[in-house]
Structure 1
Amino acid sequence: MNTLTTHPNKLPVDIERVSDFYKRGIAKFGAHTIQAACWSSSDLALQCYHAISQSQIQDWQQIKSVLDFGSGQGHLLPFIRQMRGFRGTYLGVELLPEFHHVAMQLYATDKSAEFVCSDFLSYDFQDQVFDWVISLGSFGVAQPQQVESDIANVRKISTLARRGFSIYLNDVNKMNSVPKDLAAHDLGKFSSLILEQHPDAQLDFVWFPTPESYQSVIHVLLNQTASKI
């Protein structure tokens, strides 16, 4: 599927800002490069894949379906296939047509995977739910309405996640300064946002490449008997 669906006037997320942010990298480095996806090196991207898919509250034996929100060039798919033994179904949703095209070129032969080009909040998932939802970079671009944007994205993730979800964030408390256009979060406040919706959830925090780094992941294991807000 290669249809871009957007309704920017109805969303708390400025998708044009997100698109422009990544298009600058695409123009400079090329859509196939890891640098265009805002990673300084392949090694750092690989460490992120490890961090986002390895937690004491993640059980890959129980995860049969994955939603990758902001799937980029699709590189998470072969990683979880090879490193986590994931054999289930995968859906990657990506805003940028350039990244979507790369993912289709590389991974369209995976019969249990689908890639969609759309903005996340506007996309109609119908009655789909996924054992685990992963967001590698979709919370990384600064928004004019940052809190409203975060709430909207977390709420939609929550409606789609059966077992849990994992979100990459830049930890503002471990940054000396925040580069222009980059979003940085207070993990305590972001955790409160999650717990307001899921009071019984278990949270696990990971920083990489070292515990002192600002690159971080919040893993959330949902109480499957609790009702969702």
Structure 2
Amino acid sequence: MTVWDRPEPPTRPAPLDRERIVVAAVALADEGGLEAVSMRKVAARLDAGPMRLYGYISTKEELFDLMVDEVHAEILPGEPPAGWREALRDRAHRTRRAALRHEWLADLLGGRPTLGPNAFAVREATLAAFDGRADLDTVLRAVETVGAYVTGAIRHEIADLRAERATGLSERDWQRASGPRLTRMLATGRFPALARAVHDGVHVDAETSFATGLEWILDAVAAKLARPENYSA
């Protein structure tokens, strides 16, 4: 039986419920990452005994599932998307914005799907946007492909942000510090393709890079969906 299927115990002697527990856990994770979340710390935040929490949540893994589902409420679109491309684009950008607000989400993306109501609603809105546009297997592969890109891009961006905080070096500072080493390596002539990329490539910010890569993936999905054999009867 999942955590969503189990009834909650009585709230006495002090008011407590899963929603309050999850909100407190999300706040702790926002402040200090997943390592800052424990039953003891959540209980202290709620001024409750740790053992009381186990009446509502059996394991920390269940708590993480509930936290992920809580954030999925921020990913759920306010209005039904106009089509499949808009649905996937909107979901991707909403997921990225949610991960930037809750960096710990990047550590939990890409695993087994959560079974919470908000996550179900997000998946339903995504699949419904295809509405017979292609056979089911093609639709599922399309959604998985875009999801894999989104997860990878978000994790890369969050890793960069964490590295910046850990080292105290901005990306520009890091480039200055590593410049001499990079210059020496490229001067050997052993890496001509990399040298062209470094000298002639155009740097873009993380948001632009994410949006550009996403559109390329969506173009590939559109090309796949355009094939006659992928249309539903």
Q: TM-score range by the shorter chain?
A: under 0.3
* More RCO (CA 8 Å, sep 6+): 1
User: Of Structure 1 and Structure 2, which has the larger fraction of its residues in strand?
Assistant: 1
The normalised TM-score by structure 1 is: 0.26
The normalised TM-score by structure 2 is: 0.26
